[in-house]
């Protein structure tokens, strides 16, 4: 039982204890005075684990990375004022990708709001539509039952299954350590049974939505016999969902296009997958032998813009989407059937009685074509001496050990790995902030991802992303789990060379190329990180191999040229007889 004479600390301790009982024992703390009741409650809890950082913006992304690794919310605690606003980018990303994150923001009491008091801003709706639920708690008061505090936390965890949740926590002085004459024994007497138990005060069970059997039988009739169905495994699938998708493709003999963030792209797959769809469709339509009649998409999104363009150019007869999230995830407005259910449950319902007769040659055509692309990439990139960005993507994905993590920058790195990744039979955990696709917070996300996996993580990102999140190198340096940072430094925004804006030649370099002359040697030194600058592929392989072997956080800077990178991509496309863009 919590024995203290300060009502703020009692409430804060109830909140922290109930978070732990709900399975969230990892807290992300930023310094501040107003949040001291929550901070002390975490510090004094025997099961609480802490990640501390001076920058709330980076701290939020670290909590996001933790959620991506574990499926559990990191609990973020910060003080009042602009500290809260700095969490917004991470909250937006978590919201767009339905990642859990519990935000406990300290605040001033009502008498210090809207009156010019120091460090007081409107916080109650700070995150607007980007949180699933929010509550402005009362200032702690012994006239309010402690059960009300516990059930509020439990209500928050109910909503966390769909995205971030915000509890705004006002505290009146004395904040935490000074007594205010509260009799904690008398106040908490009604919680003796809860205190003896280890369960949450209110246990909330998720609804187990089943796919409608009649609809599935109707879907079978709609597809018909010998249907050419292309499965697209989109981003964010769990391990169980990835396995279920693979088994369905094997059962039906349908080809599976695997997004690099789908959970299927790497590992000991029994069923051959299509990993190089960008090279096969080119963005201008499907080759005749590979054109699907129907698309079965799992998950809300997939990365490949070229696949999206091919579908837009040659729409399928039927586009079926299966996702556990409510809402419309259909930027082309072509989805004809949407099943809102758990992916593995959908696949389980598609049993042998529902199996449709298929033509094996349809799937084999995709697998053979993908194999030819893999052979070309191996020949042109793996054995080359010239350092290229596709070559780095190949080397990293080829060398990653089993069960380690890979975090990808949301600009060129994730596109290169999605297009050029080498086959790797090791199980690799991949994460990327593609909900809102911002370049901010990538380093911090990688640290949180490593914390959640408790495995070494490699983060591959660009120079602008690194500059954007530079102070998160402090998190990398302090990380208990190794984080290998690989920075592709092409002195600007490489992705803009692949976009139509590149045609505006007079203004392009200054306004879009974002040129700079900085490198990251001194930044690495500032945070005591081992550093290497790389200029050829063999040197990179050696440096990365050493980093994997020593299992220490470090920064490897790879120098490339933006214009040459564009030409290299075009040359590979030409070898495949595809359009350059």
Whether 213-367 and 384-575 share one fold: the answer is: yes
Beta bridge pairs of residue 258: 233
Shortest CA distance to 5 belongs to which of 33, 37, 34?
37
pLDDT for residue 223: 87
Q: Whole-angstrom Cα distance, residue 490 to residue 384? A: 19
Q: In Å, what is the CA distance from 242 to each residue of 246, 338, 386, 476?
A: 6, 19, 36, 30
8 A C-beta contact, residue 316 and residue 292: yes
Q: In Å, what is the CA distance from 418 to each residue of 236, 258, 410?
A: 14, 9, 11
8 A C-beta contact, residue 232 and residue 258: no
Instruction: Give residue limits of the domains in the chain.
Output: 7-196, 213-367, 384-575
8 A C-beta contact, residue 394 and residue 374: no
CATH class given for the domain over 213-367: alpha beta
Q: In Å, what is the CA distance from 120 to each residue of 59, 85, 137?
A: 21, 12, 16
Structure-block tokens of residue 576: 């495949």
Structure-block tokens of residue 308: 């999206």
Q: In Å, what is the CA distance from 255 to each residue of 100, 289, 335?
A: 32, 13, 19
- Measured in residues, the chain has a length of 581
Report the predicted TM-score, pTM, of the whole model to 2 decimal places. 0.94
Q: For the purposes of burial, counting CB atoms within 10 Å of the CB of 155, is it exposed (0-12), middle (13-18) or buried (19 or more)?
A: middle
Q: Where are the alpha helices (DSSP H) in 202-300?
A: 213-223, 239-252, 277-281
Would you list the DSSP string of 514-559? ------SHHHHHHTT--EEEE-SHHHHHHHHHHHHHHT--EEEEEE
pLDDT for residue 282: 79
pLDDT for residue 354: 65
Structure-block tokens of residue 188: 């908490």
Chain centroid to CA 261: how far?
A: 9
8 A C-beta contact, residue 235 and residue 297: no
Q: Whole-angstrom Cα distance, residue 55 to residue 50? A: 15
Cis amide leading into 273 (omega within 30): no
Superfamily in which the 384-575 domain is placed by CATH:
Thiamin diphosphate (ThDP)-binding fold, Pyr/PP domains (3.40.50.970)
Per-residue pLDDT of the chain (581 residues; tens, 9 = 90+): 676 889 999 999 999 999 999 999 999 999 999 999 999 999 999 999 999 999 999 999 999 999 999 999 999 999 999 999 999 999 999 999 999 999 999 999 999 898 988 889 999 999 999 999 999 999 999 999 999 999 999 999 999 989 999 999 999 999 988 888 899 999 999 999 999 989 999 987 776 667 777 777 788 788 888 889 999 999 988 889 999 999 999 988 999 999 999 999 999 888 899 999 999 997 678 999 899 999 999 999 999 999 999 999 999 999 999 998 888 999 999 999 999 888 998 998 876 556 777 777 889 999 999 999 999 999 999 988 889 999 999 999 999 999 999 999 998 999 999 999 999 999 999 999 999 989 999 999 999 999 999 999 999 999 999 999 999 999 999 999 999 999 999 987 766 666 666 665 666 666 676 788 999 999 999 999 999 999 999 999 999 999 999 999 999 999 998 888 888 988 998 888 744 43
Q: Whole-angstrom Cα distance, residue 255 to residue 272? A: 8
Q: What fold characterizes domain 7-196?
A: Rossmann fold (3.40.50)
């Amino acid at each position: 039982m919590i024995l203290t004479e300060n009502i703020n600390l009692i409430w804060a301790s109830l909140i922290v204890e109930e978070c732990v009982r709900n399975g969230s024992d990892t807290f992300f703390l930023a310094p501040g005075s107003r949040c001291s009741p929550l901070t002390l409650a975490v510090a004094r809890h025997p099961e609480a684990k802490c990640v501390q950082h001076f920058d709330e913006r980076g701290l939020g992304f670290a909590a996001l990375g933790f959620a991506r690794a574990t499926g559990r919310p990191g609990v973020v605690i910060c003080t009042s004022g602009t500290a809260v606003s700095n969490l917004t980018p991470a909250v937006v990303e978590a919201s767009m990708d339905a990642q859990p994150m519990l935000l406990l923001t300290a605040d001033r009491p009502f008498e210090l709001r809207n009156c010019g008091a120091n460090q007081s801003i409107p916080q109650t709706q700070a995150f607007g539509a980007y949180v699933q639920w929010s509550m402005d708690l009362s200032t702690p008061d012994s006239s309010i039952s402690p059960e009300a505090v516990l059930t509020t936390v439990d209500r928050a965890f109910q909503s966390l299954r769909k995205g971030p949740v915000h509890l705004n926590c006002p505290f009146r002085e004395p904040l935490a350590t000074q007594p205010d004459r509260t009799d904690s024994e008398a106040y908490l007497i009604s919680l003796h049974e809860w205190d003896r138990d280890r369960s949450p005060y209110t246990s909330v069970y998720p609804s187990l939505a089943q796919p409608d059997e009649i609809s599935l039988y109707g879907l079978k009739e709609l597809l018909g016999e010998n249907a050419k169905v292309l499965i697209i495994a989109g981003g964010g699938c769990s391990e169980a969902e990835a396995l279920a998708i693979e088994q369905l493709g094997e059962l039906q003999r349908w080809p599976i296009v695997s997004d690099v963030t789908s959970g299927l792209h790497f590992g000991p797959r029994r069923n051959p997958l299509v990993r190089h769809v960008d090279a096969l469709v080119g963005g201008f339509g499907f080759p005749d032998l590979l054109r699907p009649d129907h698309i079965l998409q799992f998950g809300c999104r997939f990365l490949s813009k070229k696949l999206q363009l091919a579908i837009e150019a040659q729409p399928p007869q039927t586009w079926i989407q299966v996702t556990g999230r409510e809402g419309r995830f259909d930027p082309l407005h072509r989805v004809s059937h949407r099943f809102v259910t758990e992916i593995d449950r959908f696949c389980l319902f598609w049993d042998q009685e529902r199996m449709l007769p298929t033509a094996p040659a349809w799937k084999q055509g995709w697998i053979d074509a993908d194999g030819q692309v893999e052979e070309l990439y191996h020949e042109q990139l793996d054995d080359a001496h010239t350092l290229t960005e596709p070559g780095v993507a190949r080397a990293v994905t080829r060398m990653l050990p089993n069960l380690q993590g890979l975090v990808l920058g949301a600009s060129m790195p994730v596109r290169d790995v999605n297009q050029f990744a080498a086959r790797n039979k090791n199980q690799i955990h991949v994460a990327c902030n593609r909900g809102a696709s911002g370049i901010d917070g990538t380093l911090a996300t990688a640290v949180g991802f490593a914390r959640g996996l408790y495995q070494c993580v490699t983060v591959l990102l660009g120079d602008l992303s690194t500059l954007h999140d530079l102070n998160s190198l402090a998190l990398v340096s302090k990380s208990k789990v190794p984080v290998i940072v690989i920075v592709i430094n092409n002195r600007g925004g490489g992705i803009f060379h692949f976009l139509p804006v590149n045609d505006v030649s007079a203004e392009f370099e200054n306004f879009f190329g974002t040129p700079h002359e900085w490198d990251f040697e001194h930044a690495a030194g500032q945070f005591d990180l081992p550093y290497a600058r790389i200029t050829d592929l063999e040197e990179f392989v050696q440096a990365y191999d050493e980093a994997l072997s020593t299992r220490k956080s470090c920064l490897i800077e790879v120098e490339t040229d933006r214009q040459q990178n564009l030409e290299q991509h075009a040359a590979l496309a030409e070898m495949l007889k595809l359009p350059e863009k």
